[in-house]
Amino acid sequence: MATDSVNLIDAYNMYSLFQFRVSVFTFHINSLKLVMFKGGGTIQMIIEPKIRSNVCFTAHPVGCERQVQQQINYVQAQGEIQGPKKVLVIGSSNGYGLAARIVSAFGSGAGTIGVAYERPGSGSKSGSAGWYNNAAFEKKAREDGLIAHSVNGDAFTDDIKTEVIDLIKQHMGRVDLVIYSIAAPRRIDPATGEIHSSVIKPIGDSYTARTVDFLSGRLYEIETEPALEEEVEDTVKVMGGEDWKLWIDALDNAGVLADGITTVAFSYIGPELTAPIYSQGTIGRAKEHLEATASTLQKQLSQKNGQALVSINKALVTRASAVIPAVPLYISLLYQVMKDKKLHEGCIQQMYRMFNDRLYSGQALELDDQGRIRLDDYEMRPDVQQEVDDLWHQVSEDNLESISDIKGFREEFLRHHGFGMPGVDYSAEVEV
C-alpha cells in the first residue's frame, strides 16, 4: 500500500473551491462538450462526470431531477406523517437537508423554505448538484400545491438571515420546524469579519488514515499532524453550534418561531476506526459544541414549549463525507455489511425515520442518555461493527471490489450529482 504524505485538507479544500466559486479556479473541465448557444442565450451541452480526489466538478440537471423524484417517490410510498406544516431547512440542497425537506413536504404536506449555497450553470460550466436539486424540489412541490421558496447564498451572513425572515413573514407567518444541516469548509464571522476555515485533523497525536480513491479503487494512507489549537477553534467556529444559535436568535427576535417550535441539527459519532479523525478530532470537537448549543437552545425554547435537539445520523455517501479521510473506506465496508443484513438506509430513509418514528410518532420521544436522537442505531449495532472491523483488517486493493460495497459507494456518489440515473439519456445535450 502506498503512503501519500499529503495535506489532509487538500481534498476538503478542493470541495470548498468548487462550492465557493473561487475565481482563480483553473481546473479544466473537459467533460463539457458540444457547447452551443441557442436563441435567448441558453446553453446546451453534453455533461459527463468529472471527478478528482473524490470531488465531482460537474452535475447533470436531468439526473438530479430524477434523483429528487426518486426520493419523493420513496416518501409518498410510506404512510403520511402527522408532522410539521411550516418548515425552514438551512442546508437544503443536498444530503440530509434535502431529504429532510422532501420528507417535510411530501410526507407531512409542509410548506418549506430552503437555504443553500450553490452554483448555477454559467458559460461552459454546469451548475452544482444542489442548484439542480433545489430547482427540481421547488418545481415538484409547487406542482403539488405546496409553498416552496429557496434562498441561495451564504447562510452565515446576517443578510441571508434577514432575507429568510422576510420570506417567512410573507409566506408562512411562523415556522414550526427548523432543520440545521450545513456542512461547510469556511465561515466569515458576521460580528468580526474574520474568516475561519475548518480542518479535518486529529487532536493531540498525528494520525495515519487509511482511505480509498473510490473511482480507481486505490487504497492509500494519508498522514496528518495534529491540529494546532487555532485550527481546532476555527473548526468549532465553522461546524459548531454558533451559527445555529444565531439563526434561532434571529428567528426568535423576529417573532417567526411558532409555539412548540422544534429545531434539529445533525451530528455523527461513528466507530473506533474513524475516531481519531472524526469523533476525537477537530470535527468531533465542533460537534461537541453543537451538542452544548442544543442544551442552551433547549432552555431558551422551552419558554415557548419548544425543543432543540441533535440527531446522530448514520454515515452516508454525500459530497461532504466523500472527502473525509478513512470515511469512504469505512462507508464502503459498512454498506456491504448493512446491505447483507438488510439494514441499509440512505438519507431519505434516515430522515423519514426521524420524522415518523421519532419527532412526530405521537409517542414519547426516544432519546439516548445524553438527550440525543439516535438514527445511527443500526450502524452502531455490535454485530454490524464487528463485521466491519473484521473486513477493515482484511481489505486490500485485490479484494476491495468483492468484500466491500465500493461499487455502491461509487454509484451513490454519482447519483448525488445526477449521473447513473436510470432512464436518463446522458448522450443528449441538456440545458445548464
CB of 36 to ligand NAD, least distance (A): 29
3-state class of 305 per DSSP?
coil
315 near ligand NAD, rule: CB under 6 A: yes
C-alpha cell at 217: 479503487
Among the listed residues 57, 132, 214, 268, the single contact to ligand NAD using CB under 6 A: 268
List binders of ligand NAD among 162-201 (CB under 6 A): 181-184
- Binders of ligand NAD among residues 125 to 144 (CB under 6 A) are 130
Q: What phi and psi, each to the nearest 5 degrees, are found at residue 257?
A: -100, 125
CA 213 and chain centroid, separation? 20
Q: Name the β-bridge partners of 113.
A: 88, 149
CB of 303 to ligand NAD, least distance (A): 26
322 near ligand NAD, rule: CB under 6 A: no
**Interatomic CA distance for residues 343 and 315, integer angstroms:** 13
Does the footprint of ligand NAD cover residue 115 (CB under 6 A)? Answer: yes
For position 154 contacting ligand NAD by CB under 6 A, the verdict is: yes
CA distance linking residue 386 with residue 406, whole number of Å: 19
**Cα dist from 243 to 105, 246, 255, whole Å:** 25, 5, 18
Q: Which of the 8 DSSP states describes residue 225?
A: P
Which one among 57, 132, 266, 419 touches ligand NAD, defined by CB under 6 A?
A: 266
Which residues are paired to 110 by β-bridges?
none
- Count of all residues that appear for the chain in the document: 432
Smallest distance, Å, CB 228 to ligand NAD? 22
Least separation in angstroms between residue 404's CB and ligand NAD is 16
Dihedrals φ, ψ of 286, to 5°?
Answer: -65, -40
Nearer to ligand NAD, 155 or 203 (CB): 155
Does 335 bind ligand NAD (CB under 6 A)? Our answer is no
Which of 15, 180, 207, 278 is the catalytic position? 278
Nearest CA among 92, 20, 27 for reference residue 53: 27
Q: Report if residue 323 touches ligand NAD, rule: CB under 6 A.
A: no
Nearer to ligand NAD, 321 or 349 (CB): 321
Strand ranges (E), 171-267 = 175-180, 186-188, 195-197, 207-213, 218-224, 257-267
Told to check if 316 binds ligand NAD by CB under 6 A, we report yes
| 426 labelled catalytic | no
**Segment 348 to 407, residues that bind ligand NAD, using CB under 6 A:** none
Query: Which helix (H) or strand (E) is 33 found in, with range?
Result: strand 32-37
Residue 92 interacts with ligand NAD (CB under 6 A): yes or no: yes
Nearer to ligand NAD (CB atom), residue 32 or residue 375: 375
- Cβ 26 vs Cβ 96: under 8 Å: no
Residues 49, 61, 91, 111: which binds ligand NAD (CB under 6 A)? 91
Please identify every residue annotated as catalytic: 278
* Interface residue list for ligand NAD (CB under 6 A): 91-97, 115-118, 130, 154-156, 181-184, 266-268, 313, 315-316, 318-321
